[in-house]
Amino acid sequence: MNLGELVPMSVSFLLTLMVFSYILRDNPLFRLAIHLFIGVAAGYAGAVAWNGVIVPLMIAPFFTAFGGGGLDTLFLALPPFLLGLLLLGKLSDRLAWLGNPTMAFLVGVGAATAIGGAVLGTLFPQIAASMNVLNLEGVFMLLGTAVTLVYFQFSVRAEPDQTPRRSQALEIVGWGGQVFIAVTFGVIFAGVYSAALTALIERWSFIIDFLTMFF
């Protein structure tokens, strides 16, 4: 093994041991490793945002427009550029209110994207798949989808001098939806646990392989 391979493997080995040191208790080595990982992730995200969004979509159009290019790209880049400048006001307590429109825009776009993705990417395809599969599995999927949606139905009619409650039939169907939700969360947890266990096994295998090169 040459030096170019030994150095990164040694750094990876040390960082792995620093993370595993948390098994004993919280310690400075573990916190240092976590800070390094977070810093590297933040730096990578910043580099991707700079090279993939800020430069090509916000800075380059200005040079293109002033260099004789079309003004249509400049008009498209100007709103996000101004919103980005307003967001810098959040760095100051006195000028923090300038960034409120940008934050409101980001929250609105994020909420719309999340809801649109959930409806168009999950809910509608799930309903379509449940309707297209005409067998026992399809009926079970359709039943699970229906009772889960009923569980999230909270509108009730208020009776005089009574606490608003759903009907007994909706309560029973909603309980079935709760069972499906619990099973789904269990499957998700099992998947996360399996992925974490796979990563743990891979790290232990790496430690053993690294040590066997010297002993």
Structural domain includes residue 65: no
Tokens of 12: 């990876």
- 150 close to 174: Cβ distance less than 8 angstroms: yes
Match 């006001």 to its residue by tokens. 89
Structural domain includes residue 32: no
pLDDT in the model for residue 125: 77
DSSP H or E segment with residue 112: helix 100-118
Summarize pLDDT for 120-158 with one digit per residue, the tens: 887 777 777 666 656 677 777 778 888 888 888 766 665
Structural domain includes residue 36: no
List Cβ<8 Å contacts ≥24 apart for 42-48: none
What does the angle CA 85 – CA 91 – CA 92 come to, to the nearest 5 degrees? 110
Q: How far is CA 3 from the centre of its chain?
A: 37
Domain that holds residue 148: 133-215
Q: What is the average pLDDT across 75-100?
A: 86
Structural domain includes residue 56: no
Structural domain includes residue 121: no
Structural domain includes residue 145: yes
Structural domain includes residue 207: yes
- 19 close to 29: Cβ distance less than 8 angstroms: no
Structural domains counted in the chain: 1
Structural domain includes residue 11: no
Q: What is the mean pLDDT of the chain?
A: 84
